Amino acid sequence: MRKLFCSLICMVFVCSRLTASAFSPDFEKTEVKRVMKNVADWQIANFSKVPYSPGNWVNAIMYIGMFDWGKMAFEQDKNEAYLKFLNKIGSRTGWQPEKRMYHADDICVSQMYIDLYRFYGKKNPNMINPTIARTDWVMAHPSRNSMDLNYRDGRTLERWTWCDALFMAPPVYARLYNMTGDKEYIRFMNQQYKDCYDHLFDKEEHLFFRDANYIERKEPNGKKMFWSRGNGWVLGGLCQILDELPAKDKNRKFYEGLFKELCGTIVKLQQPDGYWRASLLDAESYPSPETSGTAFYVYAFAYGINHGLLSKEEYMPALQKGWKALVDAVDPDGRLGYVQPVGEAPKKVTREMTELYGPGAFLMAGCEIYKMSK
């Protein structure tokens, strides 16, 4: 009898953990800040357990979201702790990108370097010199290798041959273009981006394949395989690019058009519980929530509304549902669950799963939601 009682208590605890939220999803500034602070604090408190090198792309996504949050915390509360955390990372890496010269993932961390450099008044060129050296070398020696990704041939990773790359690298070039006015950065970015777009964007479904290996693959329901986080990478990257391009810049037209087209597709694929599933066109095969893709979509919708790119009337209901879903996935200690592990295709997800890019996207989304909150 006692064992049965204990089992029932455990079941109640587990169920309450899965259904009850410790945070409010209301669009109120105090509530948005509270959940963001808890998510950011949990990441910093557990950062010593991270198995990746400091400049690895998995970490870099968290840094980008952490910068947005840290900037807000400093401006609102004069709390510089989060920016100091990022400065320590930069000092630890020597402000260097990762080692592979062409690989998009290995320059993602430079987004954070450039953001910190600009925030602190452009006083320390050592924060960006290695990034400029890397990008200038790549532009001077552009790869001409195949756009068909093949992991057995490393040369096919020299181009932006997978849709994740559209978050990792283009925003670095957009930042440098905005900061320096050097048109070589935007020319290179435009060409490489459009090569990827031409190769991986499906004009029937208005979504990106993850890479060329998935163009012919089908889900169990017979529909094409479109990975949620993969398309989230693209939309998140578009927010970053558009944020750097001046309103009258002639280069905006393509990126604004693609942003609106993708959002118009994604908003229709949200599930009743507010999440998007790991596979966008086969939710039944992947019934569990997935927060990394969801966070990028919430970020994109909030960014689009805030910047007059999306209709508030059309997108606000999905934004509110998506934010509530994300907040429900945050444990009382600030840990974000239901984050699909590192991969390249839809997989099943559990609440216990987390990775740094999930909270990074969550913080990006939260900062945009804060701007529209009361």
- Digit-coded pLDDT (tens) for 80-119: 999 999 999 999 999 999 999 999 999 999 999 999 999 9
Strands (DSSP E) contained in the chain are 201-202, 207-208
Among candidate residues 372, 365, 371, 374, the one with its CA nearest the CA of residue 35:
365
* Side-chain-facing half-sphere of 305: CA atoms under 13 Å: 22
Cβ proximity of 320 and 27 under 8 Å: yes
**pLDDT at position 15, please?**
43
The reported pTM is: 0.94
Partners of residue 202 on adjacent β-strands:
207
**Per residue in 275-297, pLDDT tens?**
999 999 999 999 999 999 999 99
**pLDDT at position 193, please?**
98
Q: Whole-angstrom Cα distance, residue 305 to residue 315? A: 8
Given the residues 164, 282, 328, 331, select the one marked as catalytic: 164
The residue type of 55 is: G
Token output for 329: 């996935």
Mean pLDDT over all residues of the chain? 95
**pLDDT at position 20, please?**
60
In sequence order, which ranges of 245-331 are alpha helices (DSSP H)? Answer: 252-266, 291-306, 312-328
Look at residue 150 and tell me whether its pLDDT is greater than 80.
yes
The residue type of 174 is: A
CB within 8 Å of 307: residues ≥ 6 apart: 242
Fold of the domain built from segment(s) 28-372: Glycosyltransferase (1.50.10)
**Per residue in 154-184, pLDDT tens?**
999 999 999 999 999 999 999 999 999 999 9
The alpha carbons of the chain give a radius of gyration, in whole angstroms, of 20
Q: Whole-angstrom Cα distance, residue 107 to residue 374? A: 37
Cβ proximity of 290 and 349 under 8 Å: yes
**pLDDT at position 9, please?**
37
**Per residue in 14-73, pLDDT tens?**
344 444 679 999 999 999 999 999 999 999 999 999 999 999 999 999 999 999 999 999
164 is catalytic: yes
SS3 143: coil
**Per residue in 319-348, pLDDT tens?**
999 999 999 999 999 999 999 999 999 999
Token output for 31: 């509530």
Cβ proximity of 321 and 270 under 8 Å: yes
The residue type of 99 is: K
CB within 8 Å of 359: residues ≥ 6 apart: 39, 40, 42, 43, 62, 65, 336, 339
Please state the separation of Cα 289 from the chain's center in Å: 17
